[in-house]
Amino acid sequence: MKKTGYLLVSLLLSAPLWAQSPQQKGLDIINQATAEAHVGFLASDELQGREAGFHGGRIAGEYIVANLKSMGIEPLGDSYYYPFEAYRLERQKKGRWQVHPDSIAELRNTVHQKLSLNNILGKIEGKNPDEYVIVGAHYDHLGIDPMLDGDQIYNGADDNASGVSAVLQIARAFLASGEQPEKTVVFAFWDGEEKGLLGSKAFVQSFPEMDKVRGYLNFDMIGRNHIEDRPNHVVYFYTESHPVFGKWLKEDIKRYNLNLDPDYRPWDNPVGGSDNGSFAKLGVPIIWYHTDGHPDYHLPSDEADKINWDKLVNITKASFLNMWNMANEKKF
């Protein structure tokens, strides 16, 4: 066969790859090896449980920023870091951590504790930069308890290294799609969730363009089996007034053969459970993926070797498609 014949055959064999949709290109980059790498690092003993405001939490933040930089994801503002402070009464008195300026001003007048925290925010700017959709997960966990007998590190593999891995993979998937989204997509990593949703609260009260946020998708614990004989189970919370969110997932599971068995839970006012609440209270429509509780919840035994990797990867793929729709559909 002449060289021209070889070239023609090569072109014909390559044509299906060229014809892939942007969504399929994004899905193809989401994989188990990357999920294992992210969760394995974030849930390692060396990060000391990633407690907000402490050394391990800061290392986790630096890891996230390094990944965003390596992918070429731009910061939302001048920096990837959005620093904020949290205050509460000294430890002998009851009181929650506060991030609202009025509460902080009051606490400063008495003996108080203070934490310096960092949200981390990257973006892919949309064709219409005046509209935002956000996908987020908290990256902090519970740290170390030196008085525990035995394992003293709360590794937080499921809670919430699993969610962080999903946000990082979705960022890569948007880049791999080769298309600029219609709306700006923000990739958010919240600090201080375990201390009272501090990072997302600080963001929604200080971000000057909250009125332009059209939707928010949240991850919090997406890597474990609630019931062992239902390994594909996932709870899919979404704002009830946006039934298309349920329609999207049902159609995408069928179209892309995703190995998931969702429990659809439309919620009139989804203000509880996790960082989705900070957005729902302001009327932002939300989606929240969660795989329910398990015996290792908030215990040192929440380790990476217990993650259901197939489930984590399929949830990540499904949520990339959710975010693709949020970012590109004019109305939902």
**Is residue 181 scored above 60 in pLDDT?**
yes
Region 227-244 average pLDDT: 96
Cβ atoms within 10 Å of 120's Cβ, excluding its own = 28
Model pLDDT, residue 16? 55
Cβ atoms within 10 Å of 104's Cβ, excluding its own = 17
If we measure between CA atoms, which residue out of 81, 118, 73, 80 comes closest to residue 99? 118
- Does 2 fall in a domain? no
Model pLDDT, residue 4? 44
Cβ atoms within 10 Å of 178's Cβ, excluding its own = 10
Model pLDDT, residue 74? 98
**Is residue 234 scored above 50 in pLDDT?**
yes
52 is in which domain, residue-wise? 22-83+118-328
**Within 13 Å of residue 207, how many CA atoms lie on the same side as its CB?**
23
What ranges in the chain are assigned the alpha helix state H? 3-18, 22-29, 32-42, 55-71, 101-107, 162-177, 198-206, 244-255, 276-280, 309-328
Instruction: Quick: pLDDT tens for 93-114.
Output: 989 999 999 999 999 999 999 9
Give 316's pLDDT tier (boundaries 50, 70, 90).
very high
Instruction: Quick: pLDDT tens for 137-157.
Output: 999 999 999 999 999 999 999
Model pLDDT, residue 1? 47
Dihedral angle at the C-alpha atoms of 160, 162, 163, 168, nearest 10 degrees?
130
**Using CA atoms, how far apart are residues 314 and 290, in angstroms rounded to an integer?**
13
- Does 3 fall in a domain? no
**Is residue 204 scored above 50 in pLDDT?**
yes
**Using CA atoms, how far apart are residues 77 and 301, in angstroms rounded to an integer?**
37
Model pLDDT, residue 122? 98
Instruction: Quick: pLDDT tens for 251-309.
Output: 999 999 999 999 999 999 999 999 999 999 999 999 999 999 999 999 999 999 999 99
- Does 296 fall in a domain? yes
- Work out the angle between the directed axes of helices 55-71 and 162-177 (0-180°, nearest 10): 10
Model pLDDT, residue 13? 43
Using DSSP's 3-state secondary structure scheme, residue 258 falls into coil
Report the predicted TM-score, pTM, of the whole model to 2 decimal places: 0.94
Model pLDDT, residue 231? 96
The CATH code of the domain that includes 313 is 3.40.630.10
For the chain, the average pLDDT equals 94
What's the structural domain count of the chain? 1
- Does 266 fall in a domain? yes
DSSP, residue by residue, 216-245: EEEES--SS-SSTT-TTEEEEEEETT-THH
- Does 298 fall in a domain? yes
**Which residue reads 């035995």 in tokens?**
150
- Does 44 fall in a domain? yes
Region 232-244 average pLDDT: 98
- Does 148 fall in a domain? yes
Model pLDDT, residue 18? 53
Model pLDDT, residue 228? 87
- Does 5 fall in a domain? no
Contact criterion met (CB below 8 Å) for 218 and 136: yes
Contact criterion met (CB below 8 Å) for 30 and 39: no
**Is residue 200 scored above 80 in pLDDT?**
yes
Percent of the chain with pLDDT over 70: 95
Instruction: Quick: pLDDT tens for 1-49.
Output: 444 443 434 443 444 545 799 999 999 999 999 999 999 999 999 999 9
Contact criterion met (CB below 8 Å) for 328 and 133: no
